[in-house]
Every structure is written in C-alpha cells, then in structure tokens.
C-alpha cells in the first residue's frame, strides 16, 4: 500500500472528484481508504425509545485507485516511486519535486 494513514490525498474519480482530505484509515484487504469528508452517505436511523428518527452522516471507504497522494513538499497530487534510503527503509519519492513524502 503506497497510501498511509494521515496522508493527504486528492480524489481523482467518482462523485467526490477534486476533493482533498486526510486518510483516516487504510483497509489493505479491500484496497480501500477512508478519507475525512469524502464519500459521505446519509443513513436514516430508526427511532429508538423517546428519541425520534434521525439522519447519521458517515464516510465510506473508497478505492485506493481513485485517489492520489498529495506531496507534502510541492503540495501537488503526485505519482510516487519507492526508494530505499540510508537505513534500509523504503521512502516514497514525489515524481514532481523528487522529495521524500513523509
Ligand atoms: Zn512534490
């Protein structure tokens, strides 16, 4: 998975195209990510006891193929490459500015 929790991503497909938000959760099994404020659905909740029925808004995860990582340096949605850095760990490199994306 090239997208991690707390990454800033841009939605490039679907009804929320153009929207940007922070990744709240990554679901590696389904290749989906949950993004703050993106893909919000309204759920009607049935009345319980004394309280009336209400509408709950919640985000649903979207496919990782529909988002692009926004570079932390140049602030542009960027394709990334993986580079092994000094200590042997892998870093994501922005293909626009060639900086490491944190
Ligand atoms: Zn960049």
Distance 78 CA to ligand 1 centre (A): 7
Residue ranges making up the domain that contains 7: 1-70
Expressed in angstroms and rounded, the spacing between residue 15 Cα and the centre of ligand 1 is: 26
Q: Are residues 64 and 78 in the same domain?
A: no
pLDDT of residue 69: 96
Length of the chain: 102
Instruction: Give the pLDDT score at 102.
Output: 84
CA 2 to ligand 1 centroid distance, Å: 15
- Judge if 77 and 58 occupy the same domain: no
Instruction: For tokens 């870093």, name the residue.
Output: 91
Structurally, the chain folds into a number of domains equal to: 2
For ligand 1, the distance from its centroid to the CA atom of residue 48, given in whole angstroms, is: 50
Q: Which residue has the tokens 């990744």?
A: 23
Q: How many Å lie between the centroid of ligand 1 and the Cα of residue 29?
A: 28
Whether 38 and 77 map to the same domain: the answer is no
What global pTM score does this model have?
A: 0.83
Averaged pLDDT, groups of 10, the chain, 102 residues long? 92 96 96 96 80 86 96 95 91 95 88
- Check residue 1 and give its pLDDT: 64
Residues 65 and 93 placed together within one structural domain of the fold:
no
Q: How far is the CA of 39 from the centre of ligand 1 (A)?
A: 26
Check whether residue 77 and residue 30 sit in a common domain.
no
Task: Select from 24, 99, 25, 34 the least CA-distant residue to 66.
Answer: 34
């Amino acid at each position: 998975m090239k997208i991690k929790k707390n990454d800033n991503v841009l939605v490039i497909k679907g009804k929320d195209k153009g929207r940007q938000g922070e990744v709240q959760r990554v679901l590696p099994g389904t290749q989906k990510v949950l993004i703050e404020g993106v893909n919000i659905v309204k759920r009607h909740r049935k009345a319980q006891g004394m309280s009336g029925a209400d509408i709950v808004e919640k985000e649903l995860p979207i496919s990782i193929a529909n988002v692009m990582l926004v570079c932390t340096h140049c602030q542009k949605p960027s394709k990334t490459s993986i580079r092994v850095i000094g200590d042997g760990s892998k870093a994501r490199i922005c293909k626009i500015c060639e900086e490491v994306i944190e």
